[in-house]
Amino acid sequence: MTEIWVGLFSGIVFGFIIQRIGATDPHRMARAHLMLNPDIPMFMLLTVLFSAWGLWGLVSYGAGKEVILPTSLVATGGAAVIFGIGWGLAGYCPGTTWAAAGEGRMDAVAALLGGLLGTATFAHLHEWLIPRLYDPTNVGQLTLGDWLGTRLAAVLGLTVLFGGGALLIGRIWKEPPNL
């Protein structure tokens, strides 16, 4: 029972914060994708950057639970292509549909219903698709740490990558970031 309350609490705070940055507003999401307003992508990159340091601390302390998803060159990449098309078209990703539906956006309710159908369709085809698309090019649970030697080096590498990315977006996107 505790896990349900913890999940609910985590979701409430999460949903509240992403609404406050404007990620539940597809108008704002579209303008981020059109390289006009940089707030959402910079927010996402910095969130990952700070989270990676937080998790590094947590893991160093011996706490936290990690699950590294494998990389399948075809399935992960192909899925990302389809996902990007859906995200650019609707302006919603799976998490924001719930928060935006709660906010009262009816187009998010339609996205949520489409999402339920998409989920059911994939679950039905799982046994057929995974051995054909996912397994043949599954290169395993790779992490930056495997490439850079230590976890600390990997977090530093990620900091350079995501910090640099955020700076670049702040410069290239048309409007100034609301730092």
Partner 1 sequence: MARGSGNRRRNPYWRILPASLALAGVIVFIFATHGPPASSSGFVSLVEGITEQFAPQYVEGKAHYQAIPGPGSWLFAFVVGMAVGGFIAGRTWPRRVADVPRIWKQRFGPSRFWRYLATFIGGFLILFSARLAGGCTLGLFISGSTQLAISGLYFGVVIFAMAMITARLVYGRAGRGKEES
Q: Based on the shown chain and the rule CB under 8 A, indicate whether residue 60 belongs to the binding site for partner 1.
A: no
Residues 56 and 152 sit within 8 Å (Cβ to Cβ): yes
Q: Based on the shown chain and the rule CB under 8 A, indicate whether residue 8 belongs to the binding site for partner 1.
A: yes
d(CA 7, CA 94): 16
The residue among 29, 37, 10 whose CA lies nearest residue 105 is 29
Residues 106 and 26 sit within 8 Å (Cβ to Cβ): no
Return the residue of 9, 135, 136, 160 that touches partner 1, per CB under 8 A: 9
Shortest Å, Cβ 164 to partner 1: 14
Fill in the per-residue mask, 13 to 42: x = in contact with partner 1 (CB under 8 A), - = not in contact.
xxxxxxxxxx-xxxxx-xx-xxxxx-x-xx
Structure tokens at 114: 């489409």
Q: Based on the shown chain and the rule CB under 8 A, indicate whether residue 159 belongs to the binding site for partner 1.
A: no
Task: Report the site for partner 1 in 92-131 (rule: CB under 8 A).
Answer: 92-95, 97-108, 110-124, 126-127, 129-130
Return the residue of 60, 62, 80, 149 that touches partner 1, per CB under 8 A: 80
Q: Based on the shown chain and the rule CB under 8 A, indicate whether residue 156 belongs to the binding site for partner 1.
A: no
CB neighbourhood size of 34 (10 A): 11
Shortest Å, Cβ 32 to partner 1: 8
Does residue 72 sit in helix, strand or coil? strand
